Amino acid sequence: MKSRGYNGKFLEVDLSREKIKVLDLEEELLEHYVGGRGVAVKFLWDRLGAEWEKVDPLGPENLLVIAAGPLTGYYPGGRICISGKSPQSNGIIGSTVGGEFGVDLRCAGYDGIIISGASKDPVYLFIKDEDVEIRDASHLWGLDGKKTLVRLTKECRDELKRRYPRFGEWKDPSILYIGPAGENLTRVAVVMEKWTHAAGYGGYGAVMGSKMLKAIVAKGSGPLPDVYDPVKTFSLINRVYDLCIARDGMRRWGTGSAGYSVGYSLSSEPIRNWQEEWHDEKSFGVDRFERKVWVKRYWGDYGCPTTCLKIAVVKTGPYAGAITDNPDYELQAYLGTNLGIFTPEGNVYVSSVIDDLGICGINGGNVLGFAGELYQRGILTKDDLDGLELKWGDPKAFAKLAEMIAYRKGIGDILAEGTFRAALKLGEMKGRDLMPYVVQVKGTGVGAHGIRSKMDYPTPIAYACSVQGGDHTSVARLPIHSSGSELIRIMCDSAVICIFNFYPDPSLIWKFYEAVTGYHQTAEKWANGDGLRILQIQRAVLLLGGPDFTWDPRIHDDNPLRFYEPLPSGPYKGQAADRKEVEDLKRQYYEAVGWDENGIPKSEVLRKLGLESVDKALEKVRERYK
Amino acid sequence: MSKKSAIWIMRDLQRCSGCRLCEIACSLYHEGKIWPEASRIRVFKLVPGLEFPHFCTQCHDYPCVNACPVNALSVNEATGAVIVDKEKCTACGKCIDACPGRIPHLHPNGKYILICDLCDGDPQCVKICQRAKYNVLWIVPRSGVEKQCRLYARTPEEITEELAENIYGKFKEVYK
């Protein structure tokens, strides 16, 4: 029986052999792994698990999985999940991005795409319903993000008009693409959609680049797949509309008010590479963004009644011509305060440059901040930086360094490896330990929400115990079935919905899921069953790691060292993460998710979940820490 | 049933958020499904940030109706909307070429043309756009704007170009 809410099909594209086929999905897979992150995790484990440690994330043996979920297109606010073996964590990260791509793909008849192998020459993938082609992209290779997108949109739309002349005007197809950072295999490269929309965590832009895949274009002309209970589904859609429409502040400002408020009222915003987390810079208030740079106040993705994004343009001054969306809080923080930049224009400018290069705002901002602190401390000099004076608050200097990273020029070649790997290399070169300045967990930069003030949502173990490392959208939290826990975020990323439209009533996702698919789930059932199974596989591959680095949970299930330094300013001055508290919470968390004292999933827990192959693979990890 | 008076959907394209709630409402009403390409109102995004809804403007001289060789198009006297007779329509595309904005398009099933029918005087797209407080679309009496309606019948390329001028100004060339 065909599962409701799904097409039940994935595209399988082998770029080495230039072969394309359609994979029919089994109902059992959909019932237990849902879609998005869950299905990606299952595919990756089944196909790469046996030799996980040997798989080079940037080798042709890695897979890029692009997966929509059953709620993509139905739950208001369209998103899709990108995954694979992560060049940042060497595990699996489910990285979601908003836009229309997921809806177009589902309307073309597929729930996802698995890309294997690697092309010899630059290519892009073109999908129009059942017509799927691998095409030459040599004319696009090397182009920045915005140019890639605008050109490819025009090219493909013109072609649709030529091919189907009686149809009339074709809407633009949806496009996922990479910028130069992805082409040059930087571990901070993103997969992008529209302007500034990025699947950031994970570094999957580099995986696309390693496959010489510049873009994926999708145009679907069918309806979304049928649902199990249409009446309930459409009444739930209306319920989410009402809840979201009522949130005026979120709609008006998006997260763009947080660049000021998270620093000022929560004391948890990264400032100059997290040396501080508090500021009272009113020049960075949301009102300034509104008046000076926002030219579109409400901008959103498919079916979204919140439209928390905004279009920002700098029209005058040294940064004139910079175009980006919002910037949202993460980019205000990481490409603003974290670099000592406190003006909307400077922030929009660095964001715009980062977009064009295809670098992750968070992980890129993290490594830029790291370099900034090394310069401040005299560890990196002007000579090391090819003459660049990397002073806090100078947007042009940080933009220049971002460009060096994207093109791997000079020191950019080392920084392109991401903060953690760069710190190892630079530490070796400089003959000193640079880990005190590294704010990341398991290869992934920590999101812009600190833990020291205890005012923000992440708990002391939020990042330390997450299977996605520093990812602020997937944090460890107890109890494991609570709406902010990693287990529940796995559901959000598997059904593939936007967490901003999930917050207003977290109970709706289960009702929605049942109305669309007919499968019954509750938060408790999920967190102890299907959700936990996905978490265990993610944990297992994170511990298996390789080939360049393997995490030791006894050392790496921890916060960045900086979080143990007392906050130097603001109302929570003196506060820091507490080692004993972190250890206590860690034990409790391990217990709750079924991990042993070393943080390795217990044999009996895995077997109860039917994960015998995972259990077997972890035997050598258990042996390692005996 | 009370006698309807002809209406027009006033549009402020620059405010469009690109959310596509109008598309969803339209295809649910007409097709019973979420079906972006079968929606009578379609949001174009040739350049991000320049999204806009593209749908029938009900020109006072109805060039599409006049161009139809098989009399499949007619005007609903009460609402002013163009009505497509699905049985008669041969999907020849002459109405598309006659429309100054190339607004009509083929149903994805390939059998007939889609043109906004104003939901018989109660447009679903306007309802959701108003409910979501975007205020891109609202209803005005057709009398008084009748001769200006067709000004809004422009091709997606023309509209994009003009919105770019307004929103991105002199920087619109940068990303071409």
Model pLDDT for residues A423-462, shown as the tens digit of each residue: 999 999 999 999 999 999 999 999 999 999 999 999 999 9
List, for residues A309-344, the tens digit of each pLDDT value: 999 999 999 999 999 998 999 999 999 999 999 999
Residue A65 pLDDT exceeds 90: yes
A vs B, Cβ pairs < 8 A, gives: 136
The answer to whether A73 contacts B34, with C-beta atoms less than 8 Å apart, is yes
Q: H/E element holding A326?
A: none
- The alpha carbon of residue B3 is apart from the nearest alpha carbon of chain A, in Å, by 30
Tokens of A376: 């401040």
Looking at residue B116, what is its pLDDT? 98
At residue A365's C-alpha, the angle toward residues A364 and A368, to 5°, is 85
Strands (E), A145-244: 174-177, 191-193, 197-199, 213-219
The answer to whether A194 contacts B45, with C-beta atoms less than 8 Å apart, is yes
In the predicted model, what is the mean pLDDT of residues A21-34? 97
**Contact residues on chain B for A231, CB-CB shorter than 8 A:** none
Of B42, B92, B102, the CB nearest to A171: B42
Cβ proximity of A198 and A190 under 8 Å: yes
Average pLDDT over all residues of chain A: 97
Rounded Cα gap, residues B158 and B173, in angstroms: 15
The answer to whether A305 contacts B18, with C-beta atoms less than 8 Å apart, is no
Spell out the residues 6+ positions from residue A572 whose beta carbon is closer than 8 angstroms to its own. A267, A278, A452, A453, A454, A455
Torsion of CA A273, A278, A283, A285, to 10 degrees: 110
List, for residues B42-59, the tens digit of each pLDDT value: 999 999 999 999 999 999
Query: What type of residue is A54?
Result: K
Tokens of B168: 């991105």
Residue B10 pLDDT exceeds 70: yes
Spell out the residues 6+ positions from residue A446 whose beta carbon is closer than 8 angstroms to its own. A366, A439, A440, A463, A470, A472, A560
Alpha carbon B82 to its chain centroid, in Å, reads 11
- The alpha carbon of residue B158 is apart from the nearest alpha carbon of chain A, in Å, by 13
Distances, alpha carbon A150 to alpha carbons A194, A205, A397, B151, in Å: 9, 19, 28, 27
Looking at residue B147, what is its pLDDT? 92
Looking at residue A125, what is its pLDDT? 98
The answer to whether B105 contacts A172, with C-beta atoms less than 8 Å apart, is no
Residue B93 pLDDT exceeds 50: yes
- The alpha carbon of residue A292 is apart from the nearest alpha carbon of chain B, in Å, by 14
Of A150, A165, A168, the CB nearest to B47: A150
Query: What type of residue is A273?
Result: N
Tokens of A109: 């008849």
Looking at residue B172, what is its pLDDT? 79
Of A168, A222, A302, the CB nearest to B93: A168
Q: Chain B residue with minimal CA distance to A356?
A: B175
Looking at residue B173, what is its pLDDT? 77
Residue B3 pLDDT exceeds 80: no
Cβ proximity of A517 and A5 under 8 Å: yes
Q: Is B149 helix (H, G, I), strand (E, B) or coil?
A: helix
Cα four-point dihedral sign A272, A276, A281, A286: positive
Of B35, B105, B113, the CB nearest to A223: B35
**Contact residues on chain B for A107, CB-CB shorter than 8 A:** 35-37
Looking at residue B1, what is its pLDDT? 40
Spell out the residues 6+ positions from residue A483 whose beta carbon is closer than 8 angstroms to its own. A502, A503, A506, A523
pLDDT band at B171 (very low <50, low <70, confident <90, very high): confident
Looking at residue A1, what is its pLDDT? 46
Cα four-point dihedral sign A75, A78, A84, A87: negative
Residue A105 pLDDT exceeds 90: yes
Judging by DSSP bridges, how do beta strands A213-219 and A123-128 pair with one another? parallel
Of B48, B128, B156, the CB nearest to A169: B156
Q: Is B97 helix (H, G, I), strand (E, B) or coil?
A: helix
Q: H/E element holding B35?
A: none
Task: Give me the DSSP letters along A395-421.
Answer: HHHHHHHHHHHHTT-TTHHHHTTHHHH
Looking at residue A104, what is its pLDDT? 98
CB-based burial label for A500 (10 Å; 0-12, 13-18, 19+): middle
List, for residues A213-270, the tens digit of each pLDDT value: 999 999 999 999 999 999 999 999 999 999 999 999 999 999 999 999 999 999 999 9
Looking at residue A234, what is its pLDDT? 97
The answer to whether A166 contacts B93, with C-beta atoms less than 8 Å apart, is yes
Looking at residue A523, what is its pLDDT? 98
Query: What type of residue is A252?
Result: R
Q: Which residues of A463-478 are buried (b: 16+ CB within 10 A; e: fewer)?
A: bbbbbbbbbbbbbbbb
CB A274: neighbour CB atoms within 10 A?
A: 25
List, for residues A372-420, the tens digit of each pLDDT value: 999 999 999 999 999 999 999 999 999 999 999 999 999 999 999 999 9
Q: Is A93 helix (H, G, I), strand (E, B) or coil?
A: coil
Looking at residue A100, what is its pLDDT? 98
Looking at residue A524, what is its pLDDT? 97
Nearest to A448 by CA among A435, A462, A467: A462
Q: Which residues of A590-615 are buried (b: 16+ CB within 10 A; e: fewer)?
A: bebbbbbebbbbbbebbeebebeebb
Looking at residue B86, what is its pLDDT? 98
**Contact residues on chain A for B24, CB-CB shorter than 8 A:** 303
Return the bridge partners of A323, or none.
Answer: A313
Tokens of A49: 């698990």
Q: Which residue has the higher pLDDT, B5 or A289?
A: A289
Tokens of A239: 């319920």
Q: Is A445 helix (H, G, I), strand (E, B) or coil?
A: strand
Rounded Cα gap, residues B38 and B2, in angstroms: 30
Which of B24, B97, B112, B165 is the mutation pick for testing A, counting most A CBs within 10 A?
Answer: B24
Rounded Cα gap, residues A39 and A58, in angstroms: 21
Looking at residue A2, what is its pLDDT? 63
Say how many Å lie between the first and final Cα of chain A, rounded.
Answer: 47
Cβ proximity of A113 and A91 under 8 Å: no
Rounded Cα gap, residues B7 and A613, in angstroms: 65
Distances, alpha carbon A204 to alpha carbons A310, A326, A406, in Å: 25, 23, 14
Average pLDDT over all residues of chain B: 95
CB B10: neighbour CB atoms within 10 A?
A: 15
Rounded Cα gap, residues A34 and A28, in angstroms: 9
Of B33, B105, B171, the CB nearest to A224: B33
- The alpha carbon of residue B146 is apart from the nearest alpha carbon of chain A, in Å, by 25
In the predicted model, what is the mean pLDDT of residues A590-611? 98
In the predicted model, what is the mean pLDDT of residues B136-140? 97
At residue A78's C-alpha, the angle toward residues A299 and A520, to 5°, is 145
Rounded Cα gap, residues A127 and A133, in angstroms: 7
On whether any CB of chain A is under 8 Å from the CB of B165, the answer is no
Of B18, B33, B133, the CB nearest to A223: B33
- The alpha carbon of residue B2 is apart from the nearest alpha carbon of chain A, in Å, by 29
On whether any CB of chain A is under 8 Å from the CB of B131, the answer is yes
pTM: 0.98
pLDDT band at B175 (very low <50, low <70, confident <90, very high): low
Site of tokens 């799904």: A6
Q: Is A311 helix (H, G, I), strand (E, B) or coil?
A: strand
Q: H/E element holding B100?
A: none
**Contact residues on chain B for A295, CB-CB shorter than 8 A:** 49, 167-168
The answer to whether A302 contacts B28, with C-beta atoms less than 8 Å apart, is no
pLDDT band at B4 (very low <50, low <70, confident <90, very high): low
In the predicted model, what is the mean pLDDT of residues A489-502? 97
A333 phi and psi angles, rounded to 5 deg: -75, -55
Tokens of A279: 């500021």
On whether any CB of chain A is under 8 Å from the CB of B41, the answer is no
**Contact residues on chain A for B172, CB-CB shorter than 8 A:** none
At residue A522's C-alpha, the angle toward residues A519 and A525, to 5°, is 100
Spell out the residues 6+ positions from residue A490 whose beta carbon is closer than 8 angstroms to its own. A37, A38, A94, A474, A531, A534, A535
Tokens of A447: 């999101």
Cis peptide before A547 (omega within 30 of 0): yes
